[in-house]
Amino acid sequence: MNMLSESLGKSERLQRSLPVLDWGRRYDRDQLSGDLTAALIVTIMLIPQSLAYALLAGLPAEVGLYASILPLVFYALFGTSRALAVGPVAVVSLMTASALAPLELQTLSEYTTAAAVLALLSGLILLGMGILRLGVVANFLSHPVIAGFITASGILIAASQLKHILGVTAHGHTLPEVLTSIWHELPNLNWPTLIIGVAALSFLFWVRKGMARVLVSKLGFEPGLAATIARVGPVFAIVGTTLVTWLLNLPGAGVKVVGEVPTGLPPLGLPTIDFALLGALVGPAVLISVIGYVESVSVAQTLAAKRKQRIEPNQELIALGASNVSSALSGGYPVTGGFARSVVNFDAGARTPAAGAFTAVGLLLAALTLTPLLYFLPKATLAATIIVAVLSLVDLSILTRSWGYSRADFLAVLTTIMLTLLVGVEVGVAAGVGVSLLLFIWKTSRPHVAEVGLVPGSQHFRNINRHKVLTDPSFVTLRIDESLYFANARRMEDLIQARVLQNRDELKHVILMFSAVNEVDFSALESLEAINQRLKDMGITMHLSEVKGPVMDRLIRSHFLEEMTGQIFLSQYEAFERLKRVSKEQIAEPSAA
């Protein structure tokens, strides 16, 4: 049907093979050195992150490490982005917690199994979408809905981590629940924990905002190096607070620590699958897949654009699907491409997906050797890491920006944010998509119709209310600014009828200008027939102008063109020239629009 989409289709098909075969064949020493450097920095960054996000998902810390090994290798094999760093991320961890909470599982092992099953389902859904080439599904998440969802999730995550900073136990999955629960527990707060938490938070905020500047100005570091050190800053917080906790034996004073983390390789094997569990997790798995995919692809596209590379959305589905399946088979939980670590990977010089594979080796070594050192790591420090990371995602300006541009977009953002905070992440994002679609349908069901006239000295026609244009009392031209379909067909009948009755005596012709009509469905065809018949009964002829090829193809297949009283003009100018009565030509003054 369309040349452009066909040629796109061909270039897509060429790129569908295993991407590693492409870049792997031309791998050289330069790329190796860039990839190794990037891998080292991302490894240092990912260790605390993976532990922290596992905690956020309600899982034991080692699950975060396991989810950062095989998935990276599989993404390196199948992914099309040169810089994307896959692993546990904040929003998906929150969604995992929110998906598992209603199951009311009794033991921790049931909980980790359910998390693996969620990753398996999510992986299979992504693979299925990739095979069916359904990458376009992600387009139904509008930018404002995504922005609103990420912002609300950031607020929710930060609030949920407050309990670790305060050293209290609290529950809940909505903002009011979490805050009320913390408020009630406030009398039980643990002062040593609070001191560690606030110290870690302050340090991390400083790392993010001021450290690089101080390193450059006071210590004479080279700016690039300073920025890299700032990126891995959380490691200093972890080492520092772990040492203090160990030296002062703070667990004895009530400071909660990570505790014993098993040393060794991730456990390989299919998680135990219970069909009742599968049923309960399919819905959340679909949302996790779509949200994870959208987050990952937008990061990948942003970075690819900087180096003029290309991301293949359907291949990304395959790659993320394989990553999640491998996560499920190695004791992990749902993963996707993360924003912060991908940027670090890119800035640190990653040239190919091999950087991800090297990072996986780093994490594997960490799982084999470092875990005993994590015993005294305070949970408050991990919570501080999470809070600082997610607050950078919170951007309430999307509310003011969308309000300024379009009320419909604002409504979609507001719905997403409010429902995510007050009801839950799944309801929030689903409602955002639903509201966006309904508003679109609503808008197209109430189309703009402009009466147009000729712009003097041109062959161009514009709205008589906005421009000084020529018109003729014996005919009226209505430009219909929407595809005609069932939801607006009857309204169009009414609008045309109302306009015709305004100067019924002089009127001899009605021209419907179809330049913006991209489709006429069966209901609208019947409405056109009704309009034609009614105008005929009044002695008025109906014409069409500027009917597009695809619309024309369809009209030809119906009987409408035989019944239509007037004719079809290739251009509106042709219609105007043919129908005008030169004697009566007059200039309409634009009135207030």
Between residue 527 and residue 546, which ones bind a copy of itself under the rule CB under 8 A?
Answer: 530, 534, 537, 546
Q: What are phi and psi of 252, to 5 degrees?
A: -65, -25
Residue 286 binds to a copy of itself (criterion: CB under 8 A): no
Contact set for a copy of itself, span 8-37 (CB under 8 A): 8, 11
CB of 571 to a copy of itself, least distance (A): 4
Residues 290-329 touching a copy of itself, rule: CB under 8 A, are 305, 308
**For a copy of itself, which residue of 485, 507, 541, 576 counts as binding (CB under 8 A)?**
485
Q: Which stretch binds a copy of itself (CB under 8 A): 27-35, 113-121, 164-172, 526-534?
A: 526-534
Interface stretch with a copy of itself, choices 85-93, 96-104, 358-366, 449-457 (CB under 8 A): 449-457
User: Least distance (Å) from a copy of itself to the CB of residue 593?
Assistant: 7
Using CB under 8 A, which residues numbered 331 to 390 contact a copy of itself? none
- 405 in contact with a copy of itself (CB under 8 A): yes
Which among 21, 278, 270, 285 has a CA at the least distance from the CA of 129? 285
Rounded CA gap, 198 and 310, in Å? Answer: 43
N-to-C CA span, the chain: 38
Q: Which member of 171, 213, 307, 466 binds a copy of itself (CB under 8 A)?
A: 466
Could you say which residues in the range 233-272 bind a copy of itself, by CB under 8 A?
A: none
Q: Segment contacting a copy of itself (CB under 8 A): 274-282, 334-342, 367-375, 515-523?
A: 515-523
Query: Which of positions 142-201 make contact with a copy of itself (CB under 8 A)?
Result: 142-145
Shortest distance (Å) from residue 352 CB to a copy of itself: 22
DSSP string, 331-377: T----EE-HHHHHHHHHTT--STHHHHHHHHHHHHHHHHTGGGGTT-
Query: To the nearest whole angstrom, how small is the minimum distance from the Cβ of residue 396 to a copy of itself?
Result: 15
Count residues binding a copy of itself (CB under 8 A).
88
Does 580 participate in binding a copy of itself (rule CB under 8 A)? no
Least Cβ distance, residue 322 to a copy of itself (angstroms): 23
In angstroms, the CA 22 to CA 300 distance is: 18
State which amino acid sits at residue 428.
Answer: G
Is residue 425 a contact residue for a copy of itself (CB under 8 A)? no
Measured from the CB atom, the residue of 45 and 304 that comes closer to a copy of itself is 304
Main-chain phi, psi angles of 474, to 5 degrees:
-85, -10
Nearer to a copy of itself, 110 or 574 (CB): 574
The residues facing 226 across adjacent strands are none
Cβ-based nearer residue to a copy of itself, 2 or 583: 2
Q: Decide whether 169 or 406 has the Cβ nearer to a copy of itself.
A: 406
List, in sequence order, every residue forming a beta bridge with 484; answer none if it has no partner: 520
**Half-sphere exposure at residue 13, Cβ-oriented, CA atoms within 13 angstroms:** 6
Residues in the chain, total: 593
Burial 2-33 (b: 16+ CB within 10 A, else e): eeeeeeeeeeeeeeeeebbeebeeeeeeebee
Closest to 83 (Cα-Cα) out of 263, 344, 324, 456: 344
CA 546 to chain centroid: 37
User: Of 85 and 531, which CB lies nearer to a copy of itself in the complex structure?
Assistant: 531
Nearer to a copy of itself, 65 or 496 (CB): 496
Question: Helix or strand or coil: residue 479?
Answer: strand
Nearer Cβ to a copy of itself (392/503): 503
463: which DSSP letter? E
Nearer to a copy of itself, 37 or 523 (CB): 523
C-beta of 462 vs 580, nearer to a copy of itself:
462
Q: Which of 126, 303, 489, 510 binds a copy of itself (CB under 8 A)?
A: 489
Burial 297-325 (b: 16+ CB within 10 A, else e): bbbbbbbbeeeeeebbbbbbbbbbbbbbb
Query: Is residue 540 within 8 Å of residue 429, measured between CB atoms?
Result: no
The SS3 call for residue 484 is strand
Q: Nearer Cβ to a copy of itself, position 443 or 508?
A: 443
Q: Which of 16, 171, 307, 448 binds a copy of itself (CB under 8 A)?
A: 448
Q: How many CB atoms lie under 10 A from the CB of residue 423?
A: 14
> Residue 5 interacts with a copy of itself (CB under 8 A)?
yes
